[in-house]
Each structure stands twice: as C-alpha cells, then as structure tokens.
Structure 1
Amino acid sequence: MEKIIEMKGITKVFPGTVANDDVNFELLGGETHVLLGENGAGKTTLMNVLYGLYQAEKGDIFVKGQLVKIMSPNDAIALGIGMVHQHFMLVHNFTVAENIVLGSEPKQGLKLDMKKAIRNVEEISKKYGFNIDPNAVIEDISVGQQQKVEILKALYRGAEILILDEPTAVLTPQEIIELGVIIDNLKAEGKSVILITHKLKEVMSMSDRVTIVRRGKVTGTVKTKETSIDQLAELMVGRKVNLVVDKKTAKIGAAVLEVEGLVALDHRGLPAVNGIDLVVKRGEILGIAGVDGNGQSEFVEVLTGLRKAKEGKIVLNGKDILNKNPEEINNDGMGHIPEDRHKRGLILKYSLFENAILGIHKNKPFSKGIVMNYKAIREHCNKLIKEFDVRTPNDEVAASALSGGNQQKLIVAREISKDPELLIASQPTRGLDVGAIEYIHGRLVQERDNGKGVLLVSLELDEIMALSDRIAVMYDGKVVAVLDRKDATEHKLGILMAGGTLEEAEKEGKKVE
C-alpha cells in the first residue's frame, strides 16, 4: 500500500506547552488509522496541523510523496483532505443540501441551482450508503444524522482522506455501528480514514492500525489485529491497567434523594427538564444515560442549586432542597463533581490548598470567624494529595499547573472528603486517561459501599454499564425508563436513548439475543 500521508518530525508549541514533540505519522491508502491517546495528548493538534488550522514550528508533510505546505483548510481541501470536527460546523436553519454545497454551490447563470444541489447530494448519499433527506433542516435531525452531513460535506468537496475527531462521542450504540459501516464503505471506495479517539473498544472494531500518542510524543504504532485492549491501555498510560470495575453486590438502603415532577427551563425559556421523577437510594450507584443535550446538565444544575426549578420537589436526606442555594445544599449533605472542572470545579489561579477547601472554607477548623486557619487547610490538602494520589510537587502550585487527571482527582478528593450523603458525579472521567479513570471508578464504588448514594451522569455508555446498579435513561428532558443493571443491554439502552419506548427496546432486545 502506498503512503498517502507522511508527517515527519512535527513539533507544535503553544505558550507553556509542547503539544507535538517531533511526531512522525503515516497513513496508507485505503486504511483506517486511529490516533489514540488521552485528552491533551496532542492528537487533535497534530490533525489540526495536517488540516491547516495550525502551522507547525518544525517538520514536513508529504501527500502522495510530494512535500506540501498546508497554510489553511482551503489548502488541505485542495489536496483532498477533509476534517469532521468534534463540534459540528453546520448552519442550523439551513437544509442538509444547503449545508453540503455551501461555498461550492452549483449555479444556473448567476442563481443557485437548488435542484442540481439536491440531485448531487442524493447521488453522493446513495454512493456511500447514507440514508439522509437532502431537504431536512439541520436543527430537526438527530446528532448522528448531523455527523453524516459533515462527512458528506467533506466528500462533496473531493476528500480522499477523511479525519474524524472523536466521532462517537455524541452517538447512540446503534449510530456507532452505522458509522462503522460508513467507514467500511469509504474504504471500499479507496478513501483513507483517520479516527481520533480515546475509546479502546471502538479502536478494536473500526481500525486497521493504531498510533498511540502520550504527552505529545508517539509511543508506538501497532496493527489492530496484533494487539489487544489491555496492550493499548498500557501503551496509552505507560503501565498495566485494570479495565474491569471490581464491585461487590450492592446493599441498597433507604432513599437519599427523591425527585418528583421536576421542571426547569433552559436559557431560551424552553423546558430542558420536563417532569422528572427519580429516586436514588443509599448503597447504590444510579447511572443516568443519554445522548448529550437531553437535559442531563440542566437536571444536575437544578439538583445542585445552580439553576432554578420552575416546579417540582427535591428532597435530600429528608430535607426539602428545592431552589436552595449551592452552599445550603452542600451543607445539607450533597457532594458535586461538576462536568466542567475548569468552569465549576476549580479556581485555576488559586493554589491546591485553597482549592481543596472550596465549599467548606467557612467551616471549622478551616475558618475561625473571619480568619483562615492555614495550618489546618494545608494539613487537609496534603492528606487529600496523599490519599488520592494527586501528582504534584507541593500544595502551593496553582491548580492550572496540574494535568487534567490530577485536577479531577483533587476535585473528587475534596467532594468525597466532605463525607456527603449523596455524591453527584457528572462526567467524572471526561478526557482522562485509563489510569485516572480506573482510580476514580474505584473511589465511586467505595462511596457506594460506604452506604452513600451516588448519582452518576455520563455520556460514556461503557462507564454507565460498568458502574451502575440501576440505569435511568434521559431523552428530551424526561426520564423515559429506569432499568436494573442486570436487565440493561447496550442495544436496549441505545433504543431508549434515541427516543424509543421500553416495549420497543424489549422487543428489539429479544431479536438481538
């Protein structure tokens, strides 16, 4: 197979960090090549260099053996390179066809020839096995369909090489299988595909070769057939990792959180949380599954006092906490690992010891009236650093100086040290390497075994399946079903996540089994 892309000695520096450090990467014709690594490892940066969004300080790029200079995405497109970003770049009130031809519109005289545009889109959709309506408006179609539009947009512009950045992050299990079929169709047509991901299961099912990136450097390139999930995890992290969550049978107790008829509005004044009833019990992990944007974030914001509810009831540990402020809810026994660690979890320019007491800074022994007791604060922080294995030179460094995994460990440590009755863990392992994930999963299970209630909200279905004792599925602001973990399959959950009913899920589940 010929080398379609060769990147040699690529070095890309941002202020204070080397994102790519002398990286070599090659793509062969007709292969699917995965770039694997934790968030922040430098995978997307490398592909942004290939697509012309960034220029490298050092290194050369060859396309089909020719040395090229890619100064912009237009240069990349002219060379047959297309990129589908993690966050789609679509005009929401345009149709599918209008989005696909945007910038390369077929004309009739001076006017846009919309009929020809629709015909072109239908032809290219059929050619690659996409089932998509060219006249549908983007905001009315599913996230999976929007991703197909982005792929078609690149193909319409003549892409021979397709870069897909975290393509499965927003898809249901069924849509992930469909994406696999699409990639196979593209390869059959002679296209080459680069997938950026940190999900090991998909690497095994979708790729021919894998290049592993760790902290800006390539740690190896392997053939998928000749490797295993365990080996890839080790290459990604640098040590052996236990990928199976070890947990005993749950000893479920009384309800710690009761939610009834909860309604809350989003920033546009539309219902984001639309009549939720839910109970979390002591000694269990209740997982909330769902495709991103179905009200999970708003639901957590209401529970934690960050968003006002319009109506409903929330009882924590026998106390009514509806529309109380975060401090009061915190004092009533709730811990919260927020989904955005930078926006809601830490004050990045504060030291670790200051971050270690956020939310409990008014409590004894940390505060004596208006005077802070820094001796007690630093003792507390150093105890957390030791117990939760936060890798840091000392407790005085700013939170911004830690890696994502260590920032997350500090937040988890702080919230667990509050000894909450209910711990809300929202995307607790987003963007972390498998080593940090293994550790945080273990701590969440420990809280459950200590008789606390844990509400886990995650977009990673594997994480929900591995940790939960019961699983609630959210769709369009509602909890559409709650299943015992033993009754939940990926297939059933996928149907519910896409808006199907429990009856449909049960029926389809039997067919698959």
Structure 2
Amino acid sequence: MTDIAPAIELKGISKAFGPVQANKDIAIRVMPGTIHGIIGENGAGKSTLMSILYGFYKADKGEIFISGRKVQIPDSQAAIAAGIGMVFQHFKLVENFTVLENVILGAEDGAMLRPSLAKARRELKALAEEYGLNVEPDAVIEDIGVGMQQRVEILKALYRQADILILDEPTGVLTPAEADQLFRILERLREEGKTIILITHKLREIMEITDTVSVMRRGEMTATVKTANTSPPELAELMVGRKVLLRVDKEPAKPGAKVLEVRDLNITDDKGVHRLKGVSFEVRAGEILGIAGVAGNGQSELLEVLGGYEKATGEILVNGEKIDLTGSKSDGQSRRARGIAHVPEDRQREGLIMDYFAWENMVFGYHHDPKYQRNRLLMDNAAIKKDTADKMERFDVRPPDPFLQAKSFSGGNQQKIVLAREMERDPDLLLIGQPTRGVDIGAIEFIHQQIIALRDQGKAILLVSVELEEILSLSDRIAVIFDGKMMGERLPADTDENELGLMMAGMTKGEAA
C-alpha cells in the first residue's frame, strides 16, 4: 500500500517584510479529506502563510506541493488553477449583483454571458444539492443575510473546481445557529473528499470541527497535533507561551445609581431605513450591560448615537441629565465632557488614524486636557509622549514605542492603544464595541481583565459584541437586539447560547419549537 500524498505540503517557507520576519522556515502537511485548523496570536504569521499559499505573496524561500506535485503559485489565478479556493473574513462579493452573477464573476466562458449564466445555474443547483448549500440564484447579495453570503463565497470556490478550501475566521459575523449550519456544511465537504484549512482564534471551534490543528507563534510553527489528543488550555499555552486564563474571573456586580438611561430611542438613516425602533434600557454604576446581536441589527447605530456622531429621537440621560440628540451639541467632545468614553467597533476607521504615531493617537479627543497644554496656543508634546509611554507600559502594548505609526502595530496592540486612551480617563460610562474583534487569546485575557477592573471601580459599562461567549462571561445583564428592536433582557445565569442565538434571530424558544 502506497502512502497517501498530503493535499498540501509546505517546506521551509520563509517571508520577511523589511526587518520583520513574518514566516520562518515553516513546514506543514495537510492531509486530504481533513479539516486542519491553524491558530496563533495576532502577528504569528497565519495570514501571511495563507496569502503565500493563495498567491497574494511570494515566499522568499521554500517549496509548495499540492497532492505530491511541486507547484509555483505566483498569483491567485495560479492558486485557483491548482484547486485552491479561499473564503475571506470580509466577503469579496459585489453587493448589487445576484448570487449567480457573483459566482461566475471572473470565471465566464466567453464574451456572451447568457451561456455562462445558464451553465452556472445548472452547476449551482447540483452543488447546492450535493453539499447542502442552498441559496436562491437570483437573489441580490445586499438582500440576503451574512450566513447566505458566506455560502455564496463557498459556492464560488467550488464552482471553480476547488478541492482545497481556506476559510479565514468564518464565524466572525454569524449567529450560533448559522455557525452550526456552516460546520455541518464543512463536515459534508470533508465527507466528499474536500480538504479544508480553518483559521480561527476560537478554541471551541477548533475542538469541535477540526481533525488536526497547527499552532504558530512569532512566525514559526510550534506544534501540530491531533485535535482529539489536545485541549483548549494546552492550545492556548502553545499559542502564547504561557498559561492563559480562559474564563473571566470576576466577583458579582454591585450595581449603584443609574448612569445611563435610554428611552424610546429611534434612528432613521439617510435612506429612510428605520435602524433603531423604540429602544429603551438603563446601565447602572458598577455593572456591565451586554448587547448581543448579529452585526447590522442596530447596535452600531446605538453606539454612534451614544458616542455623539449620529442623530436620533428619544431621550438619553447621563447621570440624570439629558443629552441633546438633535443639534451641534450632539458630538463626541460634549460626550467626553459628560464622562463618556468610547471604544468604537472599528478601531482602524473610527478609533485610530493609521498613519499617525502612537503618541498622536493616544491624545485624540483629549487634546484640550490642561495637562497637555503648554499655553493656549501650543500643546506640550513632551508631556503627551511621556503619558503615552506610561499608558503603553500599563496596557502591555508591544512594542512599547510611542513613535511607531498605528499601522505598524498588530490588531491586538492597536486595540490596546484605543483602550488605554479611553479607559484611563476615569469615565463614568464606557461604551465599548467589539472589544476583542480580531484579537488573539493572550490579548483577550488582558482586555477582559481591564473591563472587569473598571466595573469594579464603580463605572457603568455598555458592551456590544457579536461573540456570545464574551457577552455571557463578561456581562452582568444581557439585552438582545434584532432588527433595531430590543428582544428582551436575560441574566447570564438564567440563559445560554441557544436561547440568545434564537433571540438574535428574532425568535423565542416557543416560536422555534
């Protein structure tokens, strides 16, 4: 009996970007018909390695073998020709095209589209039946949910004859039910002989769905193990190089006075879409209210109103005083003056200016603080730089260099810069959106500890996250939002991911039954 060749084998892959060695002599074997997980901290080199495999980058040295045959992959077209498909974390779909048009885009048979569309319709039907990937071919992408959009990305790859699928953080925007459905699809693909590489930072998903898992740290492959022979604590330690606390360690909350009161809040966007519909809730000092919901159901607009850069109708009171929601006073500066700090959902677009230095980013929004003023005309840059260095040390920003541009830090360290800037202002109310999005497990542990410490200082915290595990472990109370409406509140001890997932889909347990 001959040995089965690996579906993918990488030998001695190295890649540097200037002085930064992203991949160092990487070797990995992925067997056919398996689901192979790859995990590691931010900046560990996972994305670089997959970008080399998919032809986005060219390795400085090393060899790639597909099914035992050495190949060159100079671009993504070569990767597709080699039978490799990639489903990106942020989907590469044309929103005003139909499912069918997106599937054939770039893979047309000729100048005449009608034959290509007819062929694609037939093949799409066959693929949907074979793999349980049912979608409506004539649906417009912007009209379907993110779970369906992900199916379209998978169908695109299969339509191009992919035998190897790379999925990058595939459950980041899915409800628990949609994630379970995705896993059933991946299992079906595995049964049909497809090979799947799953990049994720969620250890629960690794344990649930993969056959084998490889761990990367600082550009090197540190371990490859059978999933059945490992555990989440062991994988976390392999990733970070030390033991990691995987659960949030906190005392029961001691809620005090009402800090935030929201009454009948409504938002209609410039297209006339009603984004928030009569939302009401409150947050007290010394507690965390978690807002659970699938992205796009109004939680972003809620944070924007509370943060001061979106108008609304209704009432918002902070420490018993109304906030103006209609005029020029409705801005971030007036919010900060009221004791509101805001860690936005998208750190790169809303929290940082990526080409500016860390010390410049650390003062944004707070440059009027007297301790940063030399006189009325000039800021005391030396004081800002020293303050930045102190904050970077306390928040374990790596490297702790105030003179690095924000874009030079990993995602987790960019997040720490924003957190340090906002949390160190001694706010009465902290608004925090997606605190650990795209953040590795070591940084997640640190960020969670900082949020709990602020709560224990008597601060009110409004937490918005699509990560149900994070909502359940951090929150003292949980409110679920769907289609701009509050579906209800739960205490973490009285609910679970299944019930919250149903509420996030607009259903109750009774309706689901």
Query: TM (normalized to structure 1)?
Result: 0.91
What are the superposed Cα offsets for residues 34-84 of structure 1, whole Å, 9 maximum, x if unpaired? 111233332222222212232222221111111111222222222211111
Whether the 8 Å CA contact 1:405–1:436 is kept in 2: the answer is yes
CA apart distance, 1:362: 1.6
Whether the 8 Å CA contact 1:39–1:198 is kept in 2: the answer is no
What are the superposed Cα offsets for residues 220-248 of structure 1, whole Å, 9 maximum, x if unpaired? 21111111101111111111100110111
What is the one-letter code of the residue matched to 2:207?
M
What is the one-letter code of the residue matched to 1:273?
L
Query: Residue 446 of structure 1 aligns with which residue?
Result: 453
Of residues 333, 346, 351, the one that matches 1:340 is 346
CA apart distance, 1:295: 2.3
Query: Residue 134 of structure 2 aligns with which residue?
Result: 131
What is the one-letter code of the residue matched to 2:66?
V
Three-state SS of the structure 2 residue aligned to 1:11 is: strand
1:418 aligns with 2:413: no
Query: Residue 357 of structure 1 aligns with which residue?
Result: 363
Of residues 316, 319, 336, the one that matches 2:318 is 316
Query: Residue 481 of structure 2 aligns with which residue?
Result: 474
Three-state SS of the structure 2 residue aligned to 1:466 is: helix
Task: Please list, as runs of the form range in 1=range in 2, the aligned pairs for 1:76-95 lying within 5 A after superposition.
Answer: 76-95=79-98
- The separation in 2 between residues aligned to 1:55 and 1:83, in whole angstroms, is 17
Whether the 8 Å CA contact 2:389–2:400 is kept in 1: the answer is no
What are the superposed Cα offsets for residues 124-161 of structure 1, whole Å, 9 maximum, x if unpaired? 21111233333433322221111112112211221111
- The separation in 2 between residues aligned to 1:88 and 1:393, in whole angstroms, is 33
Query: Residue 491 of structure 1 aligns with which residue?
Result: 498
- The separation in 1 between residues aligned to 2:409 and 2:76, in whole angstroms, is 33
Runs of 4+ in 1 over 6 A off after TM superposition: 106-110
CA apart distance, 1:86: 1.4
Task: Please list, as runs of the form range in 1=range in 2, the aligned pairs for 1:361-380 lying within 5 A after superposition.
Answer: 361-367=367-373, 368-373=375-380, 376-378=383-385, 380=387
Of residues 244, 249, 261, the one that matches 1:246 is 249
Whether the 8 Å CA contact 1:264–1:274 is kept in 2: the answer is yes
Task: Please list, as runs of the form range in 1=range in 2, the aligned pairs for 1:127-276 lying within 5 A after superposition.
Answer: 127-266=130-269, 268-276=271-279
- The separation in 2 between residues aligned to 1:273 and 1:220, in whole angstroms, is 47
Percent identity of paired positions between Structure 1 and Structure 2: 50
What are the superposed Cα offsets for residues 247-269 of structure 1, whole Å, 9 maximum, x if unpaired? 11111222211122223344645
Cα 1:406–1:86 change in 2 (3 A) is closer
Cα 1:56–1:375 change in 2 (3 A) is closer
- Unmatched 5+ stretches in structure 1: none
- The separation in 2 between residues aligned to 1:369 and 1:210, in whole angstroms, is 58
Three-state SS of the structure 2 residue aligned to 1:3 is: coil
CA apart distance, 1:292: 1.6
Of residues 277, 281, 301, the one that matches 2:280 is 277
1:326 aligns with 2:326: no
Query: Residue 70 of structure 1 aligns with which residue?
Result: 73
Q: Which moved more, 1:12-21 or 1:211-220?
A: 12-21
- The separation in 2 between residues aligned to 1:213 and 1:483, in whole angstroms, is 38
CA apart distance, 1:431: 1.9
Whether the 8 Å CA contact 2:42–2:412 is kept in 1: the answer is no
What is the one-letter code of the residue matched to 1:326?
G
1:387 aligns with 2:391: no
- The separation in 2 between residues aligned to 1:236 and 1:284, in whole angstroms, is 32
Three-state SS of the structure 1 residue aligned to 2:225 is: strand
Cα 1:132–1:377 change in 2 (3 A) is closer
CA apart distance, 1:199: 1.0
- Superposed CA RMSD in Å reads 2.5
Whether the 8 Å CA contact 2:15–2:23 is kept in 1: the answer is yes
Cα 1:250–1:17 change in 2 (3 A) is same
Q: Which moved more, 1:446-455 or 1:260-269?
A: 260-269
Query: Residue 437 of structure 2 aligns with which residue?
Result: 430
What are the superposed Cα offsets for residues 270-329 of structure 1, whole Å, 9 maximum, x if unpaired? 3333332221122211111111222222221111112233x2222111222233221111
CA apart distance, 1:110: 8.1
Query: Residue 22 of structure 1 aligns with which residue?
Result: 25
Three-state SS of the structure 2 residue aligned to 1:423 is: strand
Q: Which moved more, 1:445-454 or 1:259-268?
A: 259-268
Question: In the comparison of the two structures, how many residue pairs are matched?
Answer: 505
What is the one-letter code of the residue matched to 2:100?
A
What is the one-letter code of the residue matched to 1:473?
V
Cα 1:410–1:140 change in 2 (3 A) is closer
Cα 1:397–1:170 change in 2 (3 A) is closer
Whether the 8 Å CA contact 2:38–2:213 is kept in 1: the answer is yes
- The separation in 1 between residues aligned to 2:137 and 2:191, in whole angstroms, is 24
Task: Please list, as runs of the form range in 1=range in 2, the aligned pairs for 1:112-127 lying within 5 A after superposition.
Answer: 112=115, 114=117, 116-127=119-130
Of residues 5, 9, 14, the one that matches 2:8 is 5
Query: Residue 406 of structure 1 aligns with which residue?
Result: 413
Q: Which moved more, 1:114-123 or 1:328-337?
A: 114-123
CA apart distance, 1:115: 5.2
CA apart distance, 1:16: 5.5
What is the one-letter code of the residue matched to 1:505?
K
Query: TM (normalized to structure 2)?
Result: 0.91
